[in-house]
Amino acid sequence: MQAPNTQPIRVMIAKVGLDGHDRGVKIVARCLRDAGMDVIYTGLHRTPEEVALAAVQEDVDILGISILSGAQMTVFPRVLELLRGQHGSDIAVVGGGVMPDEDVVELKRMGVSEVLLQDTPPQAIVESMRRLVRERGPR
Amino acid sequence: MGRAVPPLALVQQVLEGRLTAVARMITHAESGEEACHEALAEIYRHTGKAHVVGITGVPGSGKSALVTRLCKALRAGGRSVGVIAVDPSSPFSGGSILGDRIRMNELVTDPGVFIRSMATRGALGGLARASLSGVDILDAAGYDVVLIETVGVGQDEIDVVQAVHTTLVVSAPGLGDDIQAIKAGVLEIADIHVVGKCDRSDAHRTVTDLKNMLAMGHRNSQGYGWQVPLIPTSSVSGEGIPELLTAIDGHLEALTSSGELEQRRRRIAQTRLLKSAENILRDQFQRHHDRQISELTDRMMSGRTHPHAAAQTLLNQFRSERKP
């Protein structure tokens, strides 16, 4: 049982663009739930605008976006820009899915906090989320 | 939003309707932290303008899709809408999957709509502890209508009726016979009955069962001149949504002109007072009485006391500690 007055970490999990594969993202959502987090799932085929605004309204700690379509270099810069415009830049953006290593380096340079690729074990995903919130500190 | 802004410093921005401030204030309210109460008290002084509408019904009856349709209809009429959508927390991990937004995505880029998902975190009754503070925040931020979507309820989770001006109970086809319709509980609390999914062929049966139930009862005329209507809707086609909006506005009109609105406001205030007292007590118990609770449980397990006597002992200990 959750001790009273400990705030669960809030995570939004999103699928952006023309990518219909959501089995992985559902497993991630489920394992974060089982780690005691509040997980807001947006469903498939969202736009960067929808996702960024929803993340601000939901005041999430982390916005996780899964991409299996190869659109990461378009989607992430746009989401980061929108979050900055909405005063949501203290939301940590995390990427997931399948993408080339050089893209991962570039995404982190742009401001994506973490990229968790296809072989990441569930417990490592949970640990990453906790670490990001710990590093950010209270807000 | 900067780091660690104290809640009180956000109040002015909430009153101006600033998105990030509204969102962060709801987070503070959910945390229940000591620092948020002063801010919430200030916000409470600015409430009372919004029409607060509760939407309840069994899981899968189409509440989220209906909320989406209602938001669009309200926006078309120029009104802004705040939504608090409640989903259950896991009793084991405390975590949750909040999925009501999936059906509301098309609304999000409209600045006149604010949607917030909330997990129950162990609260029973269909709402989360912070749901009503969330309503206060959206009301004070200037949203004209605030919709609370409860968790999917069973037969008895009726907290929402003590918390809103207008209660919608959503039924869907294929979930039970005419006996379900005359049982006590959720179906009794409706100010407006909605039958969703009327694009389905078996919907007429549900409509008939509920209509018969309403015809049998005495509470369908609620004593302030309001006849509880039954409105078939389809969130697929949009059928029935204009009629539903008319009924919601008509209900507020009936509440206002009869004086019932003041009664309900008072009832809501009293419920919140009692709920808050309950929450404070429960928190104090959990924080300071773990040892006593454990000892008394041991005594019950060994047959030396029974639940009522143990509870009396616990309360006596609690009281004696609090005497000056």
Residue-wise pLDDT for A29-77, tens only, equals 999 999 999 999 998 999 999 999 999 999 999 999 999 999 999 999 9
Q: What local confidence, expressed as pLDDT, does residue B2 receive? A: 44
The pLDDT confidence band at residue B1, using thresholds 50, 70 and 90, is very low
For A12, which residue in chain B has the nearest alpha carbon? B98
User: Does the predicted interface ipTM exceed a cut of 0.90?
Assistant: no
The pLDDT confidence band at residue B13, using thresholds 50, 70 and 90, is very high
Q: Which of A35, A49, A90 sits opposite B3 (nearest CB)?
A: A90
Report the candidate in A6, A23, A8, A2 with the shortest Cα–Cα distance to residue A126.
A8
> What residues are paired with B221 via a beta bridge?
B227
Say whether B94 and A42 touch across the interface (CB within 8 A). Answer: no
**Got the DSSP string for B131-161?**
HHHHHHHHHHTT-SEEEEEPPPP-SS--GGG
Domain range for residue A66?
10-136
B179 against A9, higher pLDDT: A9
Say whether B95 and A87 touch across the interface (CB within 8 A). Answer: no
In a domain, A2, yes or no: no
CA B60, B64, B65 angle in degrees (round to 5)? 95
Other beta carbons within 10 Å of A117:
13
**Tens digits of residue pLDDT in B98-128:** 888 888 888 888 999 999 999 988 787 888 8
Q: Map out the domains of chain B as residue ranges.
A: 1-46, 48-258, 272-322
DSSP class of A97: E
Other beta carbons within 10 Å of B298:
11
Name residue, tokens 């200037």. Answer: B142
Residues of A in contact with B283 (CB under 8 A): 4-5
**pLDDT > 90: what percent of chain B?**
56
Q: Closest approach of chain A CAs to the CA of B83, in angstroms?
A: 11
Q: Closest approach of chain A CAs to the CA of B84, in angstroms?
A: 10
**Tens digits of residue pLDDT in B218-228:** 555 567 889 89
Mean pLDDT check: name the lowest of A9-13, A110-114, A118-122: A118-122
* Backbone φ and ψ of B260, nearest 5°: -65, -30
In a domain, A72, yes or no: yes
Mean pLDDT check: name the lowest of B22-36, B168-182, B292-306: B168-182
> How far is it, in rounded angstroms, from Cα A138 to Cα A8?
13
Number of folded domains that form chain A: 1
* Residue B225 CB-density burial (10 A; 0-12 exposed, 13-18 middle, 19+ buried): exposed
Q: What local confidence, expressed as pLDDT, does residue B113 receive? A: 96
Per-residue pLDDT at B261 exceeds 60: yes
- CATH of residue A55: 3.40.50.280
In a domain, A117, yes or no: yes
> How far is it, in rounded angstroms, from Cα B126 to Cα B143?
23
Topology of the domain covering B48-258: Rossmann fold (3.40.50)
Say whether A139 and B97 touch across the interface (CB within 8 A). Answer: no
**Tens digits of residue pLDDT in B56-98:** 988 888 899 999 999 999 999 999 999 999 988 888 888 888 8
Say whether A57 and B96 touch across the interface (CB within 8 A). Answer: no
Q: What local confidence, expressed as pLDDT, does residue A7 receive? A: 86
**Tens digits of residue pLDDT in B175-188:** 765 566 556 677 78
Q: What local confidence, expressed as pLDDT, does residue B68 receive? A: 95
Cα distances (angstroms) measured from residue B263 to each of B165, B185, B256, B259, B267: 10, 21, 10, 7, 6
**Chain centre to alpha carbon of residue B102:** 19
Average pLDDT over residues B20-39: 93
The pLDDT confidence band at residue A4, using thresholds 50, 70 and 90, is very low
Residues of A in contact with B90 (CB under 8 A): 33-34, 36
B223: three-class secondary structure by DSSP: coil
Ramachandran class of B100: left when φ > 0, alpha when ψ lies in -120 to 50, beta otherwise: alpha
> How far is it, in rounded angstroms, from Cα B204 to Cα B174?
10
